[in-house]
Amino acid sequence: PFVPLRRITPSELATHGPRKNETKTYWTVLEGKVYDMTPYLPYHPGGEKELLRVAGKDGTKLFNLTHPWVNWDNMLRGCEVGILVSENEMPK
């Protein structure tokens, strides 16, 4: 059956950032897709700290500045949470 992707706003994304995060899960966005990076944190060759710099926000720019050759789409398969939408695309 057709399963629609979950739609995530910037404000929900921000609750999965480095600080004041009750969820204890860390999300980022790459090319419009929202990923839960939590399971990957201990495995990142660049360390957890670098990953947390993009937690709760769009990581596309920093990712592509650092290592544009890394295939994030393959690496983070299974960690996808949904797609980023703007605040006013969501029903109140």
Closest separation in Å from C-beta 41 to ligand HEM: 9
Residue from 7, 44, 64, 83 touching ligand HEM (CB under 6 A): that is 44
For residue 51, the SS3 value is helix
Tokens of 31: 């090319």
34 sits near ligand HEM (criterion: CB under 6 A): no
Distance separating the N- and C-terminal Cα atoms of the chain:
27
| E strand residue ranges, 11-62 | 27-30, 33-36
Residues that bind ligand HEM (CB under 6 A): 28, 37, 44-46, 50-51, 53-54, 59, 62-63, 66-67, 70, 72, 75-76
